[in-house]
A and B are shown apart, each in its own frame.
Chain A
C-alpha cells in the first residue's frame, strides 16, 4: 500500500506547491460570484425562506469543491501524459486500484480545501446555519469523488489540453452551473425541473445545502442514493479504463 501513500503524497504536494493557483484563485473566483450576485439579487430574491446570500453560499462552496476536484485529477494526468512524466508512476509496482485511489483522494482533498476556503471567505457575508453537518461532509466527499473520477477519465482520454478544455466546458461546466447553485429548481418551468432531475450534480448541491439549512428540493436520502450510485458507476468506469491501461499502456 506504500505505492498508494506516496502517490497520494505526491499528488497533494503537486497542487500544494502551486496553491496560489490551485486553492487561492478559485476562492477568489467564488467570492466574486458572491459579491456580484448578492449585490444584484440580495434585496429581491428569497428562496425557501432564506435570504439569497445564505442560499447562494453553500451552492458556491459545493461548486468549488466539484470543479476543483475535477481540475486536480484531470490536469495532473494530462500534464503527466503530455510531458511524458506519467512513466514515473507507470513503471513502479503500483496497482490500478492504488492508482485510482491516490488520484481521487488527492482530488477530494483539493476540493475540500478550496471548499473550506470559500466557506470561510463567503460565509462572512451570510448568516449560515449548520443544521446537519454530517450531510455537508458526506455530500462534499461523494461529490468530490465523482468529479475526481470524471477528471481522471477526462485526463486519460484527452491527448491535448484543448480536448480537456472541451470536456470541461461542454460537460462539467453546464452540469454544475445548471444544477441549482444559483437558483432553486422550483423556480424553473416544469420541463426544466424535470431535466434537472437527471443531472446528478443537482442532487449533490441539494443534499449539501440540506446540511446547512435542513431544507431542500428533494429529500437528502434520495440525493444520497442518487449520488452514491453515480459515484459507483463513474468509479467503476474509471477503474475499468485503468485496468485496461486505456491510453496509458499501449
Chain B
C-alpha cells in the first residue's frame, strides 16, 4: 500500500498564533483515519493546508506523492474535501451545483454518478431544489456530495455529521465505509468520539497545533486507559483501606482502573481474602473519550500506568 497523504513538519502561524507547530503525519492508502482534537487545535488548518487553501510557513504536504503546491493539479484531483463550514452557492439547484463541481474537475457527463451519490445521501427528492431552500442538514449532505463528484481516492471529511440527523448519520457512515472498502482513503475529523472509535482504525490527536497522540485506535484504547472493573459488594465498608483507596465509588460500585486483564485475578483474590462478598461485577472498556481526556490533560499518567 502506498502513502495517501504525507505531511512533513508543517508549521503555520496566524499573526502570533501558532496554529500548526511542526505536524508530521503519514496516512496510508485505504486507511480510515481520524483527526481529533479540541476546538482550535488546528484540524481545519491542517486540512486547509492539504487542500491548498492555506499555505504553510514551512513543511511539505503530498497527496499520493504529488506536492500540494508544486503538483497542485494532480494533488487536488486526488482530494475530495468536505469543509466544516456550511457553505453553498445560493444561485443554483442541487443538481446544477453537482454538475458544475464535476466540470471543475474536467468531468463532462457525470449524471450517473451524481444520481448515485444523491441516492446514497437521500437527496434525490431535492435534486432540483435551489440550495437556498434546503435545511441545514441537507446543505451539509450536498457538501458531502460535492466532495465526491470526481470520485477522489482521498476523502477528507471535516466534521461532516455536525447538525445531521441520526438517520443520515447512519446512511452517511454506511456510504463512506463502502467507499473505504472500495479503496478510498478516508480522513475524518469529528467531536463525536464514539463515531471515531467505531470508524477509524487509526487516529491522531492534535492539541495546540501539535500531534500529541498517533496510534491505532486499538492501541490507544489499550495503552492509555485500560479497563474498568466495577464491583458491588454486600459489605463494601469492610474492605481494607489499602484496597478501597485504589477505587473510586460511583453509584454503589467500586471502580477499579486496570491497565490489563492480568490485574483482574489478583484484585478479586485480594477482595475475597479480606472477606468481601461480591454481588455484582462489571467489566468495561475504556472508550476513546477517556483516552482523549487523558491525552488532552497533558499528563502522561495513563501512559505511565500502562507501562508500569
Contact = CB atoms under 8 A, between A and B. Distances in A.
Most chain A CB inside 10 Å of its own CB: which residue of B48, B54, B104: B104
Contacts of A84: 83, 85, 87
B236 interface: no
B103 A9 contact: yes
Nearest to B90: A83
A5 interface: yes
Contacts of A80: 89
A85 interface: yes
A92 B77 CA distance: 7
A17 B91 contact: yes
Interface residues of A, number: 27
B128 to A, nearest CB: 14
B262 to A, nearest CB: 50
Interface residues of B, number: 31
A93 B53 contact: no
A114 to B, nearest CB: 19
Contacts of A95: 73
Q: Which of A3, A17, A84, A88 counts the most B-chain CB atoms under 10 A from its CB?
A: A88
A2 B91 contact: no
Interface string A54-98: 000000000000000000000000001001110111111111000
Given A13-B91, A84-B87, A249-B53, A91 B81 contact: yes
A87 B88 CA distance: 10
Contacts of A93: 72-74, 76-77, 104-106
Contact of A6 (B87, B91, B100): B100
A90 B53 contact: yes
B55 A245 contact: yes
A90 B52 contact: yes
A69 to B, nearest CB: 19
A6 B52 contact: no
Contact of A9 (B72, B100, B105): B100
B88 A3 contact: no
A209 B108 CA distance: 42
Interface in B51-94: 51-55, 72-74, 76-77, 79, 81, 83, 85, 87-92
Nearest to B81: A91
A249 B52 contact: yes
B91 A5 contact: no
A128 B105 CA distance: 47
B55 A85 contact: no
Interface in B99-135: 100-101, 103-106, 108
Closest 3 CB pairs of A and B: A6-B103, A92-B104, A84-B87
Interface of A: 2-3, 5-7, 9-10, 13-14, 17-18, 80, 83-85, 87-95, 245, 249-250
Given A88-B101, A249-B53, 13 more contacts: A2-B106, A3-B103, A3-B105, A10-B100, A10-B103, A85-B89, A88-B89, A90-B53, A91-B76, A92-B76, A94-B104, A95-B73, A249-B55
7 contacts: A5-B103, A80-B89, A84-B83, A91-B76, A94-B104, A249-B52, A249-B53
